[in-house]
Structure 1
Amino acid sequence: MGFLDIDNTTKSYGAVEVLHNVDISVQEGEFLVLVGPSGCGKSTLLNMIAGLEEITSGEIRIKDSVMNGVHPSKRNIAMVFQSYALYPNMTVGQNITFGLEMHGTPKPEREKAMREVAKLLQIEQLLDRKPGQLSGGQRQRVAMGRALVRNPDVFLFDEPLSNLDAKLRVDMRTEIKKLHQKLGTTIVYVTHDQIEAMTLSTRIAVMNGGYVQQLGTPQEIYDSPANIFVATFMGSPAMNVLPAHVRLQKDAPHAEFSLHDGSLALLPFSQKNLAAWEGKEILLGIRPETLTDVDGADRKSSNIAEMTNRIVVTEPAGSDTFVSMQLGGKDVIARMRSDAEVRAGQDFTFAVNMEKAVAFDPETEARIAP
């Protein structure tokens, strides 16, 4: 049993069920990120935790107390919105302490809590300003301060960084992570940005179509995706997925797929149970960074295979060079070092880290478990 339990929870609007049997247990101090495309149900689930949406069936519990039907003000949660939701006619200090004032907290306690939070967020110099005088990043810090000052059981963040520019988003991401490490608070955070999900979370729930597709640590989600949706949604560039067949060579399973000229590559799997798929078609998943030049291959891997294929396009990107080619009739991206000597039209020897290769069932699109 967790600090926050979402137990077999569903949400329907009339006859349409938009959240299907969600089961997530969040431990105290955990940073859970709900990630997925627009319309997947992540914000609806967050609103159900907050009490802003009613639960159709199932239970939501905080500290073992059932929250079904409990008013949002009685749940001891604090929410940080995408839109900041600050009162424009109040100063920063008044915005931060307004919730405490509404709950009847004496003024000396409010002032003390405000000063502590302002120092933590480094906004002490802003306390007498109005929101209209602040930048987007400063406003978001004030919104976070208003949540922190209440010392709630659970913090809920609803895409809090999506209104910020790219550099500020990275800076605020770092600040939120440092804040969590310092305070050890329990956070549920909604985003559509998979980089945010990977960098901030202790665990991720990947959602699509109202279902939790996979729940796990960032490393589990990235290295062992439950299905093709998770594999291609998490990671930038996305995982390459191409058709292949399983062939046995000396009783060991190999992935067979076509190269640019129609010839076949035969690369050994580390996953021995794939021998049972001999002769069958699979979908082979290869992350771009596991497809590189021979000198740049992971020296810790016990299964580096080589193949020669023609480069179609090169894309220098500062710290990396991305290379496009055709494998299995699909466009595939490899990630090289910035100084890799590659050019379009060149036949190049690639190193493939088959220890990291993932096989999917083409019918169900689920990962074939080791």
Structure 2
Amino acid sequence: MGFLKIDKVTKSFGALTVLSETDIAVEEGEFLVLVGPSGCGKSTLLNMIAGLEPVSSGDIVIDGRSMNGVRPADRNIAMVFQSYALYPNMNVAENISFGLEMHGVAKAERDKAIGEVAELLQITHLLKRKPGQLSGGQRQRVAMGRALVRDPDVFLFDEPLSNLDAKLRVDMRTEIKKLHQKLGTTIVYVTHDQIEALTLSTRIAVMFGGHVQQLGTPKEIYDNPANMFVAGFMGSPSMNLFPAKVAVSGGKAVAKIRLADGVTAELPFAGDAMAAHDGRDIVLGIRPEAITDELGADRSSNAVHTINAKVEVTEPAGSDTYVVAELGGEEVTARFRADVEVKPGDVFPFAVNMEKAVAFDPETEMRIR
């Protein structure tokens, strides 16, 4: 049983069910990220943990105590909002200490807590300023300080970086991760940004349509997606998904793929997992970094195979060049080394690491194992 247990939680608004029988156990000190597109139910779940929304059915338990019917103020949780929610008429120190003051904490104790948190977040020099005098990143640190000073059982973050520019978002990601590593706090973090999910979390719950599609470590989610939604949503660029047909000869399975010129190429599967699926139509999933130029291929793999395909688009990206070709009637993105000379119209050898390939059922969209 986890420190935070979400037990068969359902949320309905009238006849509309936005979250269906969700089960997640979060261990103490874990960093769980709820990720998914808008409307998937992730913010609704966070609001139910916070007590801002009632649970329609099921139970939320924190440190062995059921939260059903418990007011938000009595849950010992702290929430960091997307909008920061700072009081504009108070300075930074007053914003940080406001919750403590409302709980009757003595001034000397409040001042000590403010000093410790300000030093931790490197905002000591900002304590006398008002929110209107702060940058977006500084406001976010103050909002985090207000949460930290309460020493809650669980921190809840609701898309806290979405209002920041790209560079500051990366910087704040690093700061939040360092903070978690230093304090070992239990965090539930909501985002629609899968890069945030992969970089920050110890575990990820990928959500869609009111259901948890997959729950696992970042590596499990990235390398072994449970279905086509997870495969296509997680990763940037996302996993390539294109149709293929399994053919088996002598106990060895290959994926037969139609190229743009009508020729059929064959890519042998690694291992024997697909040997029982002769003649089956599948959707093949391969990440861009597993499709590259021959010299950039993984030298440690014994399952790298080359096919010649026509280049449609090249996208230089500094350290890499993304190369788009057509496989199985779908556009496929490959990740080449930056100095590879390749241009649209070239028929070029693409090295495919089939150790990294996964197969999905085109009807159910579930992983074939």
Bin the TM-score by the shorter chain.
over 0.9
Partner of 1:12: 12
Partner of 1:352: 352
Deviation at 1:324, TM superposition (A): 0.7
Report how many residues are paired. Answer: 369
- 3-state DSSP of counterpart to 1:312: strand
Instruction: Single out whichever of 343-352 and 72-81 deviates more from structure 2.
Output: 343-352
Partner of 1:37: 37
Partner of 2:256: 256
Are positions 1:47 and 2:47 aligned together? yes
Q: Give a deviation string over 1:248-302, Cα, whole Å, max 9, x none.
A: 1321111001112111111111141211210010000010110001110011222
Are positions 1:286 and 2:286 aligned together? yes
Structure 2, unmatched stretches of 5+, are none
- 3-state DSSP of counterpart to 2:275: helix
Matched to 1:20, the amino acid is S
- Describe how 1:1-370 pairs up with structure 2 within 5 A: 1-369=1-369
User: What is the CA–CA distance in structure 2 between the aligned matches of 1:353 and 1:333, rounded to whole Å?
Assistant: 14
Structure 1, unmatched stretches of 5+, are none
User: What is the CA–CA distance in structure 2 between the aligned matches of 1:312 and 1:165, rounded to whole Å?
Assistant: 32
User: What is the CA–CA distance in structure 2 between the aligned matches of 1:226 and 1:182, rounded to whole Å?
Assistant: 32
User: What is the CA–CA distance in structure 2 between the aligned matches of 1:296 and 1:93, rounded to whole Å?
Assistant: 53
TM-score by length of 1: 0.99
Deviation at 1:308, TM superposition (A): 0.9
Q: Give a deviation string over 1:167-195, Cα, whole Å, max 9, x none.
A: 00000000000000000000000000000
Matched to 1:365, the amino acid is E
User: What is the CA–CA distance in structure 1 between the aligned matches of 2:259 and 2:76, rounded to whole Å?
Assistant: 58
Matched to 1:95, the amino acid is N
User: What is the CA–CA distance in structure 1 between the aligned matches of 2:334 and 2:49, rounded to whole Å?
Assistant: 41
Matched to 2:353, the amino acid is N
Matched to 2:234, the amino acid is M
User: What is the CA–CA distance in structure 2 between the aligned matches of 1:292 and 1:204, rounded to whole Å?
Assistant: 28
Any runs of at least 4 consecutive aligned residues in structure 1 with deviations exceeding 2 A, and if so which?
Answer: none
- 3-state DSSP of counterpart to 1:110: helix
User: What is the CA–CA distance in structure 2 between the aligned matches of 1:139 and 1:251, rounded to whole Å?
Assistant: 61
- 3-state DSSP of counterpart to 2:181: helix
User: What is the CA–CA distance in structure 2 between the aligned matches of 1:265 and 1:249, rounded to whole Å?
Assistant: 15
Matched to 2:367, the amino acid is R
User: What is the CA–CA distance in structure 1 between the aligned matches of 2:157 and 2:368, rounded to whole Å?
Assistant: 34
- 3-state DSSP of counterpart to 2:6: strand
